[in-house]
Protein backbone atom coordinates (compact mmCIF):
# COMPACT_ATOMS: atom_id res chain seq x y z
CA UNK A 1 0.00 0.00 0.00
CA UNK A 2 1.43 3.44 -0.99
CA UNK A 3 1.26 6.73 0.92
CA UNK A 4 -2.12 7.60 -0.59
CA UNK A 5 -3.67 4.44 0.96
CA UNK A 6 -4.22 2.58 -2.33
CA UNK A 7 -3.14 -1.03 -2.87
CA UNK A 8 -0.18 -1.61 -5.13
CA UNK A 9 -0.36 -4.15 -7.99
CA UNK A 10 2.13 -6.45 -6.22
CA UNK A 11 0.04 -6.57 -3.06
CA UNK A 12 -3.13 -7.32 -5.04
CA UNK A 13 -1.42 -10.17 -6.84
CA UNK A 14 -0.13 -11.61 -3.57
CA UNK A 15 -3.59 -11.50 -1.98
CA UNK A 16 -5.09 -13.19 -5.04
CA UNK A 17 -2.50 -15.97 -4.91
CA UNK A 18 -3.18 -16.55 -1.21
CA UNK A 19 -6.93 -16.81 -1.88
CA UNK A 20 -6.32 -19.36 -4.63
CA UNK A 21 -4.04 -21.38 -2.34
CA UNK A 22 -6.65 -21.36 0.44
CA UNK A 23 -9.35 -22.51 -1.98
CA UNK A 24 -7.09 -25.26 -3.27
CA UNK A 25 -6.28 -26.46 0.25
CA UNK A 26 -9.99 -26.46 1.16
CA UNK A 27 -10.77 -28.53 -1.93
CA UNK A 28 -8.01 -31.02 -1.07
CA UNK A 29 -9.22 -31.28 2.53
CA UNK A 30 -12.78 -31.85 1.29
CA UNK A 31 -11.63 -34.59 -1.07
CA UNK A 32 -9.66 -36.24 1.73
CA UNK A 33 -12.59 -36.19 4.14
CA UNK A 34 -14.92 -37.62 1.47
CA UNK A 35 -12.42 -40.36 0.65
CA UNK A 36 -12.00 -41.22 4.33
CA UNK A 37 -15.77 -41.36 4.79
CA UNK A 38 -16.08 -43.58 1.71
CA UNK A 39 -13.49 -45.98 3.16
CA UNK A 40 -15.37 -46.13 6.46
CA UNK A 41 -18.64 -46.82 4.63
CA UNK A 42 -17.06 -49.65 2.64
CA UNK A 43 -15.78 -51.19 5.87
CA UNK A 44 -19.08 -50.74 7.71
CA UNK A 45 -21.46 -52.10 5.05
CA UNK A 46 -21.25 -55.28 2.99
CA UNK A 47 -22.45 -54.14 -0.44
CA UNK A 48 -22.50 -57.74 -1.67
CA UNK A 49 -25.27 -58.40 0.86
CA UNK A 50 -26.80 -54.91 1.04
CA UNK A 51 -30.37 -55.04 2.34
CA UNK A 52 -33.23 -52.88 3.58
CA UNK A 53 -31.82 -52.69 7.11
CA UNK A 54 -28.47 -51.36 5.83
CA UNK A 55 -30.23 -48.84 3.63
CA UNK A 56 -32.31 -47.52 6.53
CA UNK A 57 -29.24 -47.28 8.77
CA UNK A 58 -27.21 -45.19 6.31
CA UNK A 59 -26.90 -41.48 7.03
CA UNK A 60 -27.17 -38.85 4.28
CA UNK A 61 -23.41 -38.24 4.43
CA UNK A 62 -22.63 -41.95 4.13
CA UNK A 63 -25.07 -42.26 1.24
CA UNK A 64 -23.46 -39.42 -0.73
CA UNK A 65 -19.99 -40.82 -0.05
CA UNK A 66 -20.90 -44.36 -1.13
CA UNK A 67 -22.82 -43.50 -4.29
CA UNK A 68 -21.05 -41.34 -6.85
CA UNK A 69 -23.73 -39.16 -8.43
CA UNK A 70 -21.65 -38.61 -11.58
CA UNK A 71 -21.57 -42.32 -12.40
CA UNK A 72 -25.09 -43.45 -11.52
CA UNK A 73 -26.63 -45.80 -14.05
CA UNK A 74 -30.16 -44.94 -15.13
CA UNK A 75 -32.49 -45.63 -18.05
CA UNK A 76 -33.04 -49.02 -19.65
CA UNK A 77 -29.64 -50.19 -18.45
CA UNK A 78 -30.73 -49.67 -14.85
CA UNK A 79 -33.93 -51.64 -15.43
CA UNK A 80 -31.92 -54.45 -17.07
CA UNK A 81 -29.55 -54.61 -14.10
CA UNK A 82 -32.34 -54.51 -11.51
CA UNK A 83 -34.21 -57.26 -13.38
CA UNK A 84 -31.16 -59.53 -13.52
CA UNK A 85 -30.28 -58.96 -9.87
CA UNK A 86 -33.83 -59.49 -8.63
CA UNK A 87 -34.24 -62.70 -10.63
CA UNK A 88 -31.07 -64.10 -9.09
CA UNK A 89 -32.29 -63.15 -5.62
CA UNK A 90 -35.58 -64.92 -6.33
CA UNK A 91 -33.68 -68.05 -7.40
CA UNK A 92 -31.62 -67.86 -4.20
CA UNK A 93 -34.87 -67.52 -2.19
CA UNK A 94 -33.69 -64.16 -0.76
CA UNK A 95 -36.71 -62.44 -2.32
CA UNK A 96 -40.13 -63.80 -3.20
CA UNK A 97 -41.58 -61.94 -6.17
CA UNK A 98 -42.58 -62.38 -9.76
CA UNK A 99 -40.67 -60.11 -12.14
CA UNK A 100 -42.27 -58.58 -15.23
CA UNK A 101 -40.61 -56.15 -17.63
CA UNK A 102 -42.61 -53.46 -19.40
CA UNK A 103 -41.58 -50.92 -22.01
CA UNK A 104 -40.99 -48.16 -19.45
CA UNK A 105 -40.99 -49.96 -16.12
CA UNK A 106 -40.04 -53.05 -14.18
CA UNK A 107 -42.69 -54.67 -11.99
CA UNK A 108 -41.96 -56.97 -9.06
CA UNK A 109 -44.89 -58.30 -7.07
CA UNK A 110 -45.95 -60.93 -4.57
CA UNK A 111 -49.32 -61.88 -3.17
CA UNK A 112 -49.23 -58.95 -0.72
CA UNK A 113 -47.27 -56.11 -2.32
CA UNK A 114 -45.52 -54.74 -5.38
CA UNK A 115 -42.75 -52.41 -6.54
CA UNK A 116 -42.89 -50.45 -9.79
CA UNK A 117 -39.42 -49.30 -10.87
CA UNK A 118 -38.93 -46.51 -13.41
CA UNK A 119 -35.86 -45.81 -15.58
CA UNK A 120 -34.86 -42.75 -13.54
CA UNK A 121 -34.45 -44.87 -10.40
CA UNK A 122 -37.73 -43.86 -8.79
CA UNK A 123 -40.06 -46.50 -7.40
CA UNK A 124 -43.53 -46.76 -5.94
CA UNK A 125 -45.42 -49.61 -4.39
CA UNK A 126 -46.25 -51.23 -1.09
CA UNK A 127 -45.42 -54.15 1.16
CA UNK A 128 -42.27 -56.17 1.68
CA UNK A 129 -41.52 -56.28 -2.05
CA UNK A 130 -41.02 -52.50 -2.09
CA UNK A 131 -38.73 -52.80 0.93
CA UNK A 132 -36.66 -55.53 -0.78
CA UNK A 133 -36.41 -53.75 -4.13
CA UNK A 134 -35.15 -50.36 -2.88
CA UNK A 135 -31.61 -51.50 -1.96
CA UNK A 136 -31.39 -53.47 -5.21
CA UNK A 137 -32.03 -50.26 -7.18
CA UNK A 138 -29.33 -48.46 -5.21
CA UNK A 139 -26.79 -51.23 -5.79
CA UNK A 140 -27.57 -51.65 -9.49
CA UNK A 141 -27.12 -47.91 -10.06
CA UNK A 142 -23.46 -48.27 -9.03
CA UNK A 143 -21.13 -48.84 -11.96
CA UNK A 144 -18.72 -50.96 -9.91
CA UNK A 145 -21.45 -53.31 -8.66
CA UNK A 146 -21.32 -56.61 -10.55
CA UNK A 147 -24.78 -57.80 -11.54
CA UNK A 148 -25.22 -61.56 -12.18
CA UNK A 149 -26.30 -62.78 -15.58
CA UNK A 150 -30.06 -62.69 -15.96
CA UNK A 151 -31.58 -66.20 -15.73
CA UNK A 152 -33.63 -67.21 -18.75
CA UNK A 153 -37.39 -67.56 -18.51
CA UNK A 154 -39.59 -67.62 -15.45
CA UNK A 155 -37.59 -67.96 -12.23
CA UNK A 156 -40.49 -69.07 -10.06
CA UNK A 157 -41.51 -72.73 -10.47
CA UNK A 158 -44.99 -73.94 -11.29
CA UNK A 159 -46.98 -74.89 -8.17
CA UNK A 160 -47.17 -78.55 -9.20
CA UNK A 161 -43.38 -78.67 -9.61
CA UNK A 162 -42.70 -77.85 -5.96
CA UNK A 163 -41.57 -81.03 -4.17
CA UNK A 164 -43.38 -82.21 -1.05
CA UNK A 165 -40.36 -81.61 1.14
CA UNK A 166 -36.65 -80.94 1.21
CA UNK A 167 -33.80 -83.40 0.88
CA UNK A 168 -34.56 -86.74 2.52
CA UNK A 169 -30.88 -87.59 3.05
CA UNK A 170 -30.64 -85.78 6.38
CA UNK A 171 -33.91 -87.20 7.63
CA UNK A 172 -32.87 -90.70 6.56
CA UNK A 173 -29.56 -90.48 8.42
CA UNK A 174 -31.27 -89.29 11.61
CA UNK A 175 -33.83 -92.07 11.23
CA UNK A 176 -31.06 -94.69 10.94
CA UNK A 177 -29.39 -93.33 14.08
CA UNK A 178 -32.74 -93.43 15.89
CA UNK A 179 -33.29 -97.08 14.95
CA UNK A 180 -29.78 -97.98 16.15
CA UNK A 181 -30.49 -96.22 19.44
CA UNK A 182 -33.75 -98.13 19.85
CA UNK A 183 -32.08 -101.49 19.13
CA UNK A 184 -29.27 -100.71 21.55
CA UNK A 185 -31.80 -99.78 24.19
CA UNK A 186 -33.76 -103.01 23.72
CA UNK A 187 -30.58 -105.14 23.80
CA UNK A 188 -29.23 -103.48 26.94
CA UNK A 189 -32.57 -103.64 28.73
CA UNK A 190 -33.07 -107.29 27.76
CA UNK A 191 -29.54 -108.21 28.77
CA UNK A 192 -30.01 -106.53 32.11
CA UNK A 193 -33.12 -108.57 32.83
CA UNK A 194 -31.96 -111.93 31.43
CA UNK A 195 -28.45 -111.84 32.87
CA UNK A 196 -29.45 -110.09 36.05
CA UNK A 197 -27.11 -107.19 35.42
CA UNK A 198 -28.63 -104.41 37.46
CA UNK A 199 -29.05 -101.51 37.48
CA UNK A 200 -26.61 -100.00 34.95
CA UNK A 201 -27.72 -101.95 31.81
CA UNK A 202 -31.36 -101.29 32.59
CA UNK A 203 -30.82 -97.53 33.02
CA UNK A 204 -28.63 -97.37 29.91
CA UNK A 205 -31.19 -99.32 27.90
CA UNK A 206 -33.98 -96.97 28.92
CA UNK A 207 -31.77 -93.99 28.05
CA UNK A 208 -30.97 -95.31 24.55
CA UNK A 209 -34.63 -96.10 24.00
CA UNK A 210 -35.74 -92.58 24.99
CA UNK A 211 -33.10 -91.00 22.72
CA UNK A 212 -34.23 -93.16 19.80
CA UNK A 213 -37.88 -92.23 20.28
CA UNK A 214 -36.91 -88.55 20.50
CA UNK A 215 -34.95 -88.72 17.23
CA UNK A 216 -37.86 -90.41 15.46
CA UNK A 217 -40.11 -87.62 16.71
CA UNK A 218 -37.68 -85.04 15.30
CA UNK A 219 -37.72 -86.76 11.89
CA UNK A 220 -41.52 -86.90 11.83
CA UNK A 221 -41.77 -83.24 12.81
CA UNK A 222 -39.24 -82.20 10.15
CA UNK A 223 -41.13 -84.05 7.42
CA UNK A 224 -44.41 -82.50 8.52
CA UNK A 225 -42.84 -79.02 8.53
CA UNK A 226 -41.41 -79.58 5.04
CA UNK A 227 -44.82 -80.54 3.71
CA UNK A 228 -46.40 -77.49 5.34
CA UNK A 229 -43.77 -75.13 3.89
CA UNK A 230 -44.14 -76.70 0.45
CA UNK A 231 -47.91 -76.23 0.48
CA UNK A 232 -47.52 -72.66 1.71
CA UNK A 233 -45.05 -71.95 -1.13
CA UNK A 234 -47.45 -73.43 -3.68
CA UNK A 235 -50.23 -71.19 -2.38
CA UNK A 236 -48.00 -68.12 -2.76
CA UNK A 237 -47.11 -69.16 -6.31
CA UNK A 238 -50.76 -69.48 -7.26
CA UNK A 239 -51.44 -66.03 -5.78
CA UNK A 240 -48.87 -64.36 -8.07
CA UNK A 241 -50.24 -65.83 -11.29
CA UNK A 242 -47.91 -68.79 -11.52
CA UNK A 243 -50.59 -71.20 -12.63
CA UNK A 244 -53.36 -68.92 -11.34
CA UNK A 245 -54.80 -65.39 -11.47
CA UNK A 246 -52.84 -62.18 -11.01
CA UNK A 247 -53.44 -60.12 -7.84
CA UNK A 248 -56.18 -57.53 -8.29
CA UNK A 249 -54.23 -54.71 -6.61
CA UNK A 250 -51.53 -54.48 -9.30
CA UNK A 251 -51.38 -51.17 -11.21
CA UNK A 252 -50.90 -53.02 -14.51
CA UNK A 253 -53.58 -54.59 -16.68
CA UNK A 254 -53.34 -57.95 -18.46
CA UNK A 255 -51.81 -56.25 -21.52
CA UNK A 256 -49.02 -54.69 -19.48
CA UNK A 257 -50.40 -51.14 -19.56
CA UNK A 258 -50.08 -48.97 -16.48
CA UNK A 259 -53.37 -48.20 -14.77
CA UNK A 260 -52.80 -44.69 -13.46
CA UNK A 261 -56.01 -44.73 -11.43
CA UNK A 262 -54.39 -47.33 -9.15
CA UNK A 263 -51.26 -45.24 -8.63
CA UNK A 264 -51.17 -42.37 -6.18
CA UNK A 265 -48.45 -40.63 -8.21
CA UNK A 266 -46.27 -40.38 -5.12
CA UNK A 267 -43.21 -42.19 -6.44
CA UNK A 268 -40.07 -42.20 -4.33
CA UNK A 269 -36.61 -41.68 -5.77
CA UNK A 270 -34.14 -44.16 -4.34
CA UNK A 271 -31.22 -42.20 -5.77
CA UNK A 272 -30.53 -38.70 -4.42
CA UNK A 273 -30.79 -35.92 -7.06
CA UNK A 274 -27.74 -35.38 -9.19
CA UNK A 275 -25.78 -32.20 -8.48
CA UNK A 276 -26.48 -30.84 -11.97
CA UNK A 277 -30.24 -31.30 -11.36
CA UNK A 278 -30.33 -29.28 -8.16
CA UNK A 279 -31.94 -25.89 -8.32
Encode pLDDT of 172-216 as tens digits: 888 899 999 999 888 888 888 887 777 888 888 889 889 999 988
3-state class of 238 per DSSP? helix
* 210 and 268 belong to one structural domain: no
pLDDT for residue 277: 44
- Cβ-based burial of 160 (10 A; exposed 0-12, middle 13-18, buried ≥19): exposed
For the residues 245-270, what does the mean pLDDT come to?
72
* 77 and 202 belong to one structural domain: no
Assess if residue 162 is contained within a domain. no
3-state class of 174 per DSSP? helix
* 185 and 213 belong to one structural domain: yes
* 37 and 96 belong to one structural domain: no
For the whole prediction, is pTM greater than 0.75?
A: no
Assess if residue 34 is contained within a domain. yes
* 173 and 52 belong to one structural domain: no
Q: Strands 106-109 and 114-117, how do they pair?
A: antiparallel
* 260 and 122 belong to one structural domain: yes
- Last residue of a domain, which of 22, 46, 64? 64
List pLDDT tens digits, range 105-159: 999 998 888 999 999 888 998 889 999 998 899 888 888 788 888 777 778 887 7
* 148 and 261 belong to one structural domain: yes
* 263 and 139 belong to one structural domain: yes
Assess if residue 54 is contained within a domain. yes
* 59 and 77 belong to one structural domain: no
| Helices of type H across 93-199 | 127-140, 168-194
Q: How many domains does the chain have?
A: 3
3-state class of 124 per DSSP? strand
* 256 and 187 belong to one structural domain: no
* 138 and 260 belong to one structural domain: yes
* 134 and 30 belong to one structural domain: no
Assess if residue 255 is contained within a domain. yes
pLDDT for residue 52: 60
> Is residue 235 scored above 60 in pLDDT?
yes
Where does residue 46 fall: left (phi above 0), alpha (psi -120 to 50 degrees), or beta otherwise? beta
Domain that holds residue 152: 70-156+251-277
> Is residue 23 scored above 70 in pLDDT?
no
Distance between CA 193 and CA 198 in Å, rounded? Answer: 8
> Please, what is the Cα angle at 18 between 17 and 24, to 5 degrees?
90
Task: Tell me what the pLDDT averaged over the chain comes to.
Answer: 76
Assess if residue 163 is contained within a domain. no
Amino acid sequence: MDASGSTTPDESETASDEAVDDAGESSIDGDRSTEQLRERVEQKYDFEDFGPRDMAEMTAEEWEAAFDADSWITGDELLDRVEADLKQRVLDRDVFARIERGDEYLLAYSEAGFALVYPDGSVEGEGTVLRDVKPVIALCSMDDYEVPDAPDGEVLPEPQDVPEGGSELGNLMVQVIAVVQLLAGVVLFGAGIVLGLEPIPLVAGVGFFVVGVGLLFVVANARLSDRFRSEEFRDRLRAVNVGGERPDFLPVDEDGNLMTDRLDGDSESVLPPRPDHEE
